[in-house]
Amino acid sequence: MSTFRNIVHIPIAVGRYVLMLALVAFVSFLNPNQLTFKYEYEKGRSWAYEDLTAPFDIPLLKSEADLALEKASIIDEFPPCYRVDPNIGPSKTEAFKEGFDKQFNSIRADQETAFQDVLSRSDTYRQYGSKLLGRIYQRGILEPDPAHLQKGKEQVVNILTANTLKTQTLQNIPSPTQVKRWLGDTLLYQSGLPEAEFLIPVLEENIAPNLFYDDSLTQKMLARELSQVTTTRGLIPAGEPIIDKGSLITEELYDKLSSFEARYLDEFSVKMSFWQIFSGHILLTTLVIGIYLLYLSFNEPRVFQSFRNLLFMATWVALFSYLVHLVEDTVVLSAYMIPFCIVPIVIKNFFNDRLALFTHIVIVLIASFLSTLGYEFTFLHILAGIVAVLTNTETRYWSKFFLSLFFIMLSYGIGFFGLSLIQGADWTAIDWRTLGFFLLNVILTLLAYPLIPLLEKVFGFTSSITLAELGVLNRPLLK
């Protein structure tokens, strides 16, 4: 039983145009509300337009590869940040004094002690040790992060003390082990204290790192450094030629055209309001849908005069427009994976080849407004749709259906390779991932098989599958 057979009370003329206006509004709101650059260009192809001159000053943008390389160099060479813990030095100095007093009391109780000079001048030894420890912690003791040692002692680091940032190399900042080794030589040969060895164990107990790696500070300063990377590397003054007609688009000219496109969109997006751009999308969508209605009225009156049939056709347009909009908002996906050939296959099973092809072309044209893939998107999907209509795509013949899918995949593949070759790409530069999207497209086209009986029940159509089932000799009526 058809779901829509009860909608007989809707005047067909009114319902028809309300449906199409709703379709135009739906598709128009899916369109990106931004300007479209009026030129299409590809690296390795010829410039097909008239001579192009800069209408205004154009900052010459760095390519994405150059920017990525420059930022990668900054990240690789950026010195990590270490922060001084101001509490460690004073706390270790106090701990030294306590340790000194404890050790001093132990030798004072020993009447045969060798540290007679320490007993007579304990304050001198205590003050010397405290000052020495203060100087050590003022200079800093660093236990470097293992990752920072990979570049050796020449690795540069930033040291933050209070609000002062200093740059040092790792070899100039001692580790606890180096400080302890240095203490013995300093005390014994430079202190001038006869019994300086008394201080060594007490001082060594209070040697600890006071410089620690600060990842959040490092990332913050790195982000500030990266934000200062300029995206331009020159200027194209107004009136200077950008490219001549017929010129091959080299790497340099491609960068100039990309810079002009960015500047053009910035310049005119300020001048044009949302409603101006939106009105343009409405006009284009209305034009395509209006032509489609004219075609239906002159060539497919059975479809044009039936609200149910019109709703069936409009559903395909709305569905695939939304799918393109959805995929374009997802970075990892491509509109090449959308199985547009389902439309001509299903419509051909319910109606005829000509209507299937015309509907497919209308859907691809509207979807091309939403896609950023350029004319290649329109060309390849219309080509595949023609192949789908020309081949025998009746789903009740599995062998012929799979053969049709093979031809669809073949048309995608050959068309893609042909476009890649005229764009100057060699075998290594071809984006093989796109072929994976085409393969996924063809696999998803298999959904046409379960869709046909489902749509048959929903819209009250009759397909060749149902007719074949009705003709089976084992059915009771035929028996």
Cα separation of 478 and 437, whole Å? 47
Q: Are residues 254 and 280 in the same domain?
A: no
The per-residue pLDDT for 354 is: 92
Tokens for 54? 């800069």
Cα separation of 463 and 181, whole Å? 92
Q: Are residues 330 and 433 in the same domain?
A: yes
Dihedral Cα 170, 171, 172, 173, nearest 10 deg: 50
Residue 477 within any structural domain of the chain: no
Residue 69 within any structural domain of the chain: no
How would you write 390-429 as a 3-class SS string?
HCCCCCCCHHHHHHHHHHHHHHHHHHHHHHHHHCCCCCCC
Q: Are residues 398 and 315 in the same domain?
A: yes
Cα separation of 424 and 91, whole Å? 70
Tokens for 345? 């296959």
The per-residue pLDDT for 2 is: 47
Tokens for 332? 């990892």
Q: Are residues 123 and 150 in the same domain?
A: yes
Q: Are residues 369 and 452 in the same domain?
A: yes
The per-residue pLDDT for 3 is: 47
Q: Are residues 328 and 457 in the same domain?
A: yes
Q: Are residues 267 and 353 in the same domain?
A: no
Surface-to-core class of residue 122, CB atoms within 10 Å of its CB (0-12 exposed, 13-18 middle, 19+ buried): middle
Residue 478 within any structural domain of the chain: no
Tokens for 67? 């920017």
Residue 2 within any structural domain of the chain: no
CB 319 within 8 A of CB 360: no
Q: Are residues 278 and 350 in the same domain?
A: yes
H or E segment to which residue 448 belongs = helix 448-459
The per-residue pLDDT for 261 is: 74
The per-residue pLDDT for 4 is: 47
Q: Are residues 29 and 53 in the same domain?
A: no
Q: Are residues 419 and 306 in the same domain?
A: yes
Q: Are residues 112 and 141 in the same domain?
A: yes
Residue type present at position 304: F
- Provide the β-strand partners of residue 159: 82, 166
Residue 187 within any structural domain of the chain: yes
Q: Which domain holds residue 57?
A: 41-61+234-271
The per-residue pLDDT for 357 is: 93
Q: What is the DSSP letter of 240?
A: -
Surface-to-core class of residue 41, CB atoms within 10 Å of its CB (0-12 exposed, 13-18 middle, 19+ buried): buried
Residue type present at position 73: S
pLDDT tens for the chain, residues 1 to 479: 444 444 444 566 677 788 888 888 888 888 765 556 666 666 767 777 777 887 777 788 777 778 888 888 888 888 888 888 888 888 988 998 998 888 888 887 776 677 888 888 888 888 988 998 888 888 888 877 777 776 666 778 888 877 777 888 877 888 888 888 888 777 877 778 888 888 888 888 888 898 888 888 888 888 888 888 887 777 888 878 888 877 777 777 787 877 777 777 666 654 555 566 677 778 888 899 999 999 998 998 888 888 888 888 999 999 998 998 888 878 778 888 889 999 998 888 888 889 999 999 999 999 888 887 878 888 999 999 999 888 865 555 666 778 888 899 999 988 888 887 776 555 655 677 888 888 898 888 888 877 877 877 777 776 555 655 555 456 565 55
How many residues are recorded in the chain? 479
The per-residue pLDDT for 1 is: 44
Q: Are residues 424 and 294 in the same domain?
A: yes
Domain count, the chain: 3
